[in-house]
C-alpha cells in the first residue's frame, strides 16, 4: 500500500518542475525531510516552480506541509509557485495548510544572564520568607481551630482522629520497630568494636542508652514519620485540592483546617511520642542483644549497667521533643498539600518539598532543643 516517496526536479527553461511521487506520509518522514531539503537550493534559481501532484499516492499533513514549505520558499524569494494536479480528496488538506504557520512567532526576548541569576536569587529569598509566613499562618490557623474545639468539644472529628491515629500510629509500629532495632544493634556493635581497643567495652551500655533515649530514638522515628506519614498527608490534601474537594468543604461552611488538618496533626502529635517510646525500647533491645552475642555481656549485666547509666531525665529529654517534631511535620505536610496546583507534576513536587522540609526542620529543632537542654542543665 505504502510506496517509497520520490521527488524529481526537472528544469525546463525558466520553469522548475517538481514531481513528488509515492506516499508522502508520516511513516516516511525521514526520507521526505531529506528529499525536500535536498531540492531546496534549486528552488532559488528557477523563476517559476510548478509542483505536479499527480504522482502522489498518499498524502497527510506532514507531507502536504513539506510541499507547501517548498512552494513558500519559492514565493518568498520572489518567484512564482503553482501547485497543479491535486486530486480532489487532498485539495482540502492542501488549502488548509496554505493558511497555517503564516504568522511569525513572537521572538522570545533573551534576558541578561547575570540579571536572570540575580532575579532567581531574589525570587528564592522571597520564596523562603513566604515559606516562613505560610508556616506561621498554618500554625495560627491550627491554634485557632484548637481554640474552637476547646470551646465546642463536640466539633472535634473523633472518627477521623481515630482513623488517622490508626494509620500513622498503629500501622507504623512494625517498620519503626524494625528500623530502630537495627540502629540500636549497629550502634552497639560499632561501640563494642572500637571501645574494646581501650578496654572500655562496658561503656557501650552508657553510649547506647544515652544516645538512643536522648537523641536517636526520637530523631530516627521523626524522620521516618516525616517520610511515611508527612508525604501521605501532602499527597492526600494536594489531590483533594486538585479535585476542588477543599473548596467544596469551605462552601459548605466548614473549615478545612478543622475538618482535615486538625485531626491529622493531632493524630501525629499523639502517635509520635508513642512511636518514639516503642522505637527507643526496640533500639535498646537490639543493643542488648548485640552486647550479649557479640560483646559477651549477659542481659543481667547489661540491665544493671543501663540502670546506672541512664536516668529518667534522659528519657524525658528525648520524649519531650516528640510532640513538637510531630507538630512541625504535620504543619509542613498540610501547608505543602494546600500549595498543590493543577498538575500531577506539582503534586509530586510539593510532596518532595514537604518531606525534605520537614526532615530539615526536625533536625534543626533537635539542635535547638539540644542547646536549650544544655543551658538548663538537663
Which spans of this chain sit near another protein (rule: CB under 8 A)?
1, 25-27, 29-30, 33, 57-58, 60-62, 65-66, 69, 89, 92-93, 95-97, 99-101, 103, 105-106, 341-345
CB of 201 to another protein, least distance (A): 55
Report the distance separating Cα 112 and Cα 123, nearest Å. Answer: 16
Contact 222, 362 (CB under 8 A): yes
Which CB, 57 or 157, lies closer to another protein? 57
Least separation in angstroms between CB 256 and another protein = 21
Please name the residues in contact with 37: beta carbons below 8 A apart, sequence gap of 6 or more: none
Q: Nearest approach, Cβ of 97 to another protein (angstroms)?
A: 6
What's the grid cell of residue 291?
A: 552486647
Residue whose C-alpha cell reads 520520490 in the numeric block: 6
* Of residues 63 and 330, the one with the C-beta less far from another protein: 63
Shortest Å, Cβ 55 to another protein = 13
11 or 92: CB nearest another protein: 92
Smallest distance, Å, CB 342 to another protein?
3
Shortest Cβ 179–another protein spacing (Å): 33
User: Which of 14/247 has CB closer to another protein?
Assistant: 247
Q: What is d(CA 161, CA 151) in angstroms, rounded to the nearest whole number? A: 18
CB closer to another protein, 29 vs 173 = 29
Residue nearer to another protein on the CB measure, 65 or 324? 65
Amino acid at each position: 500500500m505504502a510506496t517509497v516517496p520520490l521527488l524529481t526536479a526537472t528544469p525546463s527553461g525558466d520553469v522548475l518542475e517538481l514531481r513528488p511521487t509515492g506516499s508522502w506520509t508520516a511513516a516516511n518522514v525521514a526520507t521526505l525531510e531529506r528529499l525536500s531539503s535536498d531540492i531546496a537550493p534549486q528552488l532559488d534559481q528557477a523563476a517559476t516552480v510548478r509542483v505536479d501532484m499527480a504522482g502522489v499516492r498518499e498524502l497527510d499533513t506532514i507531507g502536504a506541509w513539506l510541499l507547501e514549505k517548498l512552494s513558500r520558499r519559492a514565493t518568498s524569494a520572489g518567484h512564482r509557485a503553482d501547485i497543479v494536479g491535486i486530486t480532489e480528496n487532498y485539495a482540502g488538506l492542501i488549502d488548509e495548510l496554505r493558511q497555517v504557520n503564516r504568522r511569525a512567532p513572537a521572538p522570545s526576548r533573551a534576558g541578561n544572564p547575570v540579571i536572570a541569576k540575580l532575579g532567581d536569587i531574589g525570587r528564592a529569598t522571597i520564596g523562603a520568607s513566604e515559606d516562613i509566613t505560610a508556616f506561621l499562618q498554618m500554625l495560627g490557623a491550627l491554634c485557632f481551630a484548637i481554640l474552637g474545639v476547646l470551646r465546642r468539644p463536640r466539633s472535634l472529628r473523633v472518627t477521623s482522629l481515630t482513623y488517622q491515629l490508626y494509620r500513622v500510629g498503629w500501622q507504623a509500629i512494625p517498620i519503626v520497630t524494625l528500623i530502630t532495632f537495627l540502629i540500636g544493634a549497629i550502634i552497639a556493635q560499632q561501640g563494642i568494636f572500637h571501645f574494646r581497643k581501650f578496654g572500655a567495652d562496658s561503656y557501650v551500655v552508657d553510649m547506647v542508652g544515652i544516645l538512643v533515649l536522648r537523641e536517636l530514638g526520637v530523631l530516627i522515628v521523626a524522620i521516618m514519620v516525616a517520610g511515611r506519614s508527612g508525604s501521605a498527608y501532602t499527597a492526600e490534601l494536594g489531590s483533594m485540592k486538585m479535585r476542588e474537594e477543599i473548596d467544596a468543604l469551605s462552601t459548605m461552611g466548614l473549615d478545612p483546617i478543622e475538618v482535615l488538618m486538625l485531626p491529622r496533626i493531632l493524630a501525629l502529635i499523639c502517635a509520635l511520642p508513642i512511636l518514639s517510646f516503642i522505637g527507643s525500647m526496640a533500639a535498646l533491645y537490639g543493643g542488648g542483644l548485640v552486647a550479649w552475642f557479640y560483646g559477651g555481656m549477659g542481659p543481667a549485666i547489661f540491665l544493671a549497667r543501663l540502670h546506672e547509666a541512664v536516668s529518667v531525665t534522659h528519657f524525658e529529654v528525648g520524649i519531650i521533643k516528640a510532640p513538637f517534631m510531630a507538630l512541625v511535620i504535620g504543619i509542613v505536610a498540610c501547608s505543602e498539600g494546600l500549595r498543590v496546583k493543577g498538575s500531577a507534576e506539582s503534586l509530586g513536587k510539593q510532596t518532595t518539598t514537604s518531606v525534605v522540609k520537614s526532615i530539615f526542620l526536625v533536625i534543626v529543632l533537635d539542635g535547638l532543643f539540644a542547646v536549650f537542654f544544655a543551658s538548663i542543665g538537663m
